Amino acid sequence: MKNDKIAEEILNCINERAQEYLKEINVSVVGSSSYKVDDKESLNANSVIVSIIGDIDVSFVISYDDALLTIITEQFLDGAVENEKGLTESLSMEFANIVIGNGLTKVKRTKSLYMTPPLLIEKAQYLSSNKDSNILASKIETKDGNLLLQCIHSNQLKTKVDKVLIVDDSLIMRKKLFNYIEDLGYNIVGTANDGASAIDLAKRFRPDIITMDITMPNVNGIEAIKEIKKDNSEVKIIMITSSGQKDDILNAISNGASSYLVKPIDKEKLSKTIKDVASDDNKIDDVEF
């Protein structure tokens, strides 16, 4: 299949860049092997998932042996480090960001492929257990442990991680929403400070959920909804509004918005609203302020 060939090309490019980077930071690579497996390989706690969107919709999981991740962390920081979970988690995501991002530049179709930010996962939490998965895998062996790369088609993910785009012209609001949504476990694919940027990012990353401010420069939230919905009718949009914008909210809903929240934003209400729109369990009977 065409998609399988693209996925295999991406995996090979990521494998090549991973080996190059390991050698650059003085990690001794012993060997590498690529193969297909009928089911996911067992993962340790040091696993990161990145989605590739564009001509193909696949996810790549990078898993590190503990000893190898410690060496990568020490080499990256030019010295021994204390065994801090937060630090090694951060380095596991940074390594994935580097090798997958650089690996994509080697793919012939780079202009039509985009990657989402790396996301830590629990042991096999998001991976399919379907024995017909035909997962592409690649293992890099080093003297300090193994690095496992797995390529999985997104429709074979057992638990879907919703991709979220945050749109607001206020830097403070973007940071607040980012922190809240990240804490809730969603995959934030980007932030935008106006409607024009939102339209571009929505086409590029095809988020599942968008939080959208109404009043913004260049292109306002309502106009952005119209354009985004033309390209992706399935995306769920949560309007973020200030008191006194009832007519704008009604206009937004009539143009495809799924729900709304009134500033100031409360984390519990935000969590409930996102879960409701993600599960199609939201019902707007009236707009109240």
Q: What angle do CA 225, 228, 234 make, to 5 degrees?
A: 100
Predicted TM-score of the model (pTM) = 0.67
Whether 288 shows a pLDDT value over 60: the answer reads: no
Instruction: Kindly list the structural domains of the chain, giving each domain's residue range(s) and its CATH number in brackets, ordered by start.
Output: 2-156 (3.40.1550.10), 163-278 (3.40.50.2300)
* Listed range (36-45, 55-64, 89-98, 133-142) with the worst mean pLDDT: 36-45
Beta-bridge partners for 108: none
Output 55 or 208, whichever has higher pLDDT.
Answer: 208
Higher local confidence (pLDDT), 53 or 126: 53
Kindly report, residue by residue over 143-174, the tens digit of the pLDDT: 999 999 988 776 665 556 688 999 999 999 99
Taking CA atoms, 283 is separated from 48, 80, 257, 279, in Å, by 35, 54, 12, 11
141 vs 36: which has the higher pLDDT: 141
CA distance 83 to 123: 20
**Tens digits of per-residue pLDDT, 174-194?**
999 999 998 887 888 899 999
Q: What is the pLDDT of residues 87-98, one digit of tens each?
A: 788 888 899 999
Check residue 37 and give its pLDDT: 63
